[in-house]
Amino acid sequence: MLHVWEENWGLRVAECPCDVHFIEWVRENNLRNQSIYHFGTGGHHVVGVELGGDGSGNTIVGITASTGEYEDFIQMSIERPKILANYMAFFGDIYLTNPRLLPDFDIVTLFHVAEFRSEKNDSYGALTERGMIEALLSKTRPGGYVLFYPGSYAWAIAKPLVEAMAAEGQITREGAYKTLEIYRKPA
Ligand SMILES: C[S@@+](CC[C@H](N)C(=O)[O-])C[C@H]1O[C@@H](n2cnc3c(N)ncnc32)[C@H](O)[C@@H]1O
């Protein structure tokens, strides 16, 4: 059985500000017409709805492993169809990422690395944490951004993976923004 995420996450900025900080980072840097991949939509879908609906030309593909969050996306889309012009959420397991099913992205958010993967994912041969990051990096354009979230409770696991990839030259640290770590794929 698929490792479904059994919750439906509402926007809880005090507890988990990563999505809101991401939106602020995109806007403060005036990033427009960017193709964005977002790991973990939440039931609020704030990244797709906000960045897709603000006239910036940004487009967002978001993944959720929660049936409730996916149903919320469907309901939102029925009630506010314009959302669909720039935002697509899909239901799946990020640890089953197949690069052949995805377009290339300018920005990839990986805020929840190591938070949810377990032996349930192993049972169907899912990618490792590192394999998942590398699969998404393969879909990141040269010079594109990959963002991480040190506020994650799993950052102690994610950080060494990120730093190892940086040491290998796969990604380069650009800096920090609020609660986020900003890396780039070398151009
Ligand atoms: C704690 S919520 C955070 C949502 C949002 N990023 C926020 O900060 O408000 C975790 C998100 O990760 C998603 N998720 C968990 N496991 C996943 C997996 N294996 N593949 C894709 N998404 C997953 C959930 O569906 C949920 O949207």
Span 80-116, pLDDT tens digits: 999 999 999 999 999 999 999 999 999 999 999 999 9
Is 25 contained in some domain?
Answer: yes
Alpha helices by DSSP H, the chain: 18-28, 46-52, 67-79, 119-122, 129-137, 155-167
Residue 9 lies in a domain: no
CB of 5 shorter than 6 A to ligand 1: yes
| Mean pLDDT across 16-39 | 98
- Is any atom of ligand 1 closer than 6 Å to the C-beta of 19? yes
Answer whether 114 contacts ligand 1 (Cβ < 6 A).
Answer: no
pTM, rounded to two decimals? 0.98
Mean per-residue pLDDT for 145-149?
A: 98
- In this structure, which residue's CA is closest to atom 12 in ligand 1? 40
Report, as an integer, the average pLDDT of 33-40.
98
The percentage of residues in the chain with a pLDDT greater than 90, rounded to a whole number, is 100
| Paired tokens of 69 | 């969050």
Compute the distance between CA of residue 104 and CA of residue 44 in angstroms, rounded to an integer: 25
- Domain of residue 153: give its range: 18-184
pLDDT at residue 71, as a whole number: 98
Question: What is the CATH classification number for the domain harbouring 90?
Answer: 3.40.50.150
Query: Of all protein residues, whose CA lies closest to atom 11 belonging to ligand 1?
Result: 40
Q: In the predicted model, what is the mean pLDDT of residues 138-157?
A: 98
Q: What is the mean pLDDT of the chain?
A: 98
Question: Could you tell me the distance, in angstroms and rounded to a whole number, from the CA of residue 18 to the centre of ligand 1?
Answer: 12
pLDDT in tens, 60-83: 999 999 999 999 999 999 999 999
Ligand 1 atom 10: the closest Cα is on which residue?
A: 40
Nearest-CA neighbor of 70 among 2, 137, 129?
Answer: 2
Place of tokens 């041969």: 125
Q: What is the pLDDT of residue 78?
A: 98
Domain count, the chain: 1
Q: How far apart are CA 106 and CA 141, in angstroms?
A: 6
Q: Is residue 13 part of a domain?
A: no
User: What pLDDT does 5 receive?
Assistant: 98
